[in-house]
Amino acid sequence: MAKTGGNRYGTHRALEPKGSLPQPAWKLDNTSEIWDNEVLIDVETLNVDAASFRQISDQAGGDPGKIGQIIMETVAQRGKQHNPVTGSGGMLIGTVAEIGPALRDRDLAVGDRLASMVSLSLTPLKIQEILAVHGATCQVDVRAQAVLFASGIYAKLPADMPDKLALAVLDVAGAPAQTAKIVGPGQTVLVVGAGGKSGLLCLHEAKKRAGITGKVMALCRSEGAVARVQESGLADVILRGDAKEAMSVLQLVEEATGGALADVTINCVDIPGTEMTSILATRDGGLVYFFSMATSFTAAALGAEGIGKDVTMLIGNGYTKNHSEIAINSLRENPVLREMFSKLYA
């Protein structure tokens, strides 16, 4: 019989410190025996967030075996995939193995395939074996089990696209969904790190929301990123520059906007040190959305203060209402983007 009385936010699983919320907790109870208000998932693939995977890959010297070993060690030590350097996690896909009695009124059944829409940094996880590491997509195939709490959100995997394609999109669902909320008709939008999966999805939503009277600018560092944005056809202006070089990017944006700067800047890069680029490129009274988990919010807040820039800064909350539907629909609406993502991630 399942244990009863578990907290809907999962505090009953926190071991260090005892009773804390699971995301900031150092260690979770990752045993597979569920409480009555939990769901047990047989996990097939982890989608490690880009900032975390980059750090792990750098630590491992790019060796897939060592990447897997680091992930195994982290999960064994902490009971979750919570990168101690970046503080971030990722998400997973798998099959519902068991549903606690208190949750059986949900539209969910054993055997359903789903993607977790909460971070691996708060998800109890036990890995039996790592089967493959896919560096190009930040995905790791595993034999594992995970637990979703009563408060944990999830998305059933769509029937009209491959699982790994859906996982790649759902992993960054908050970015295009937030873009849909914050971009309005006629605005000038800058997407920093536009050639990655979150950047391309944001370009799609920005182009749709800004409309024919708006302007969408894409900042890319590599030739490959520029090529992907060109192929997508989603940017009115493509700027080639390093997002860590704030003054040179500012000059590019000033030239592209006649000095007016961006109304909205969306930062999707997975490396630190790009906060001031985003802030400088945005006009006074504008909005900067920091989706990247590599962002230092201290650097952003103090940096904006230091240059006297009055901008609204939005933290990259991975959840907003209907985010999974908005993200998946981006590929349904855009055949070019879907084909591109299929080649890259499926």
pLDDT at 288: 97
* Residue 185 structure tokens: 């008709």
In angstroms, the CA 263 to CA 106 distance is 41
Q: What is the structure's pLDDT at 160?
A: 93
Share of the chain above pLDDT 90, in %: 88
Q: Assign 270 a pLDDT band (cuts: 50, 70, 90).
A: confident
The CATH number for 174-345, chosen from 2.60.410.10, 3.40.720.10, 3.40.50.720, 3.40.640.10, is 3.40.50.720
Mean pLDDT calculated for residue range 40-51: 94
Torsion angle in degrees (nearest 10) through CA of 127, 87, 204, 133: -30
Confidence (pTM): 0.86
The single-letter DSSP state of residue 3 is: B
- Residues 305-320 have a mean pLDDT of 90
Question: Quick one: pLDDT at residue 321?
Answer: 84
Confidence of residue 152 (pLDDT cuts 50, 70, 90): very high
Is residue 167's pLDDT more than 90?
Answer: no
Over residues 216-223, the mean pLDDT reads 97
Residue 168: predicted pLDDT: 85
Rounded to whole angstroms, the Cα distance separating 250 from 69 reads 41
pLDDT band, very low/low/confident/very high, at 106 (cuts 50, 70, 90): confident
The more confidently predicted of residues 24 and 50 is 24
Q: What is the mean pLDDT of residues 312-334?
A: 90
Mean pLDDT of the chain: 95
Residue 340 has pLDDT above 90, yes or no: yes
What is the rounded CA–CA span in Å between residue 42 and residue 98?
Answer: 9
Query: Mean pLDDT over residues 261-276, rounded?
Result: 95
pLDDT in tens, 177-194: 999 999 999 999 999 999
The predicted pLDDT at position 1 comes to 65
pLDDT average, residue stretch 70-94: 96
**Confidence (pLDDT) at 2:** 77
In this prediction, residue 23 carries a pLDDT of 96
Confidence of residue 62 (pLDDT cuts 50, 70, 90): very high
What is the model's pLDDT at position 233? 96
| Helix ranges (DSSP H) in the chain | 50-59, 64-78, 163-170, 174-182, 197-210, 223-232, 246-257, 275-280, 297-306, 323-333, 335-345
Domain locations along the chain: 11-157, 174-345
CA distances, 33 to each of 1, 41, 93, 151, 295 (Å): 10, 11, 19, 18, 36
Instruction: Look at residue 345 in the predicted model and tell me its pLDDT.
Output: 81
